[in-house]
Amino acid sequence: MAIVGVWETKLYAGTIGTTETFTKQHNFAAPGLDVWSRPYLQSLTINDDDASVILSVSKFTDKNGTHTGPFTPGIFGDGCTSVTFKMSTRDCIATAVLTTEIFG
């Protein structure tokens, strides 16, 4: 299979003095697409010496049903209709690039 398309979005979020989780979703019309999805860390601003950021795919739905992660570094979905990305931050501000490559 060849890559026939790419969809990228950005997730910019962060925390100061606490930990929080943020999500963003890529959705595809039924019957779905064959995809490879994964998040990348693009930038990080540290607010304290215990700062951290964790990226993953937390959930995806394909022709076999819904699968709950975390999945790192990402997933390959056959007939995928949705991919949920997750970013957890502690004492930092981060930008993640959420990439889905479409196969055909």
Enter the pTM of the model. Answer: 0.94
What percentage of the chain has pLDDT greater than the value 70? 100
Q: What is the pLDDT of residues 52-76, one digit of tens each?
A: 999 999 999 999 999 999 999 999 9
The tokens describing 75, both together, are 């997933």
- The whole-number pLDDT of residue 73 equals 94
What percentage of the chain has pLDDT greater than the value 90? 96
Q: Assign residue 47 a region (left: φ > 0; alpha: ψ between -120 and 50; beta: otherwise).
A: alpha
Report whether pLDDT(1) > 90.
Answer: no
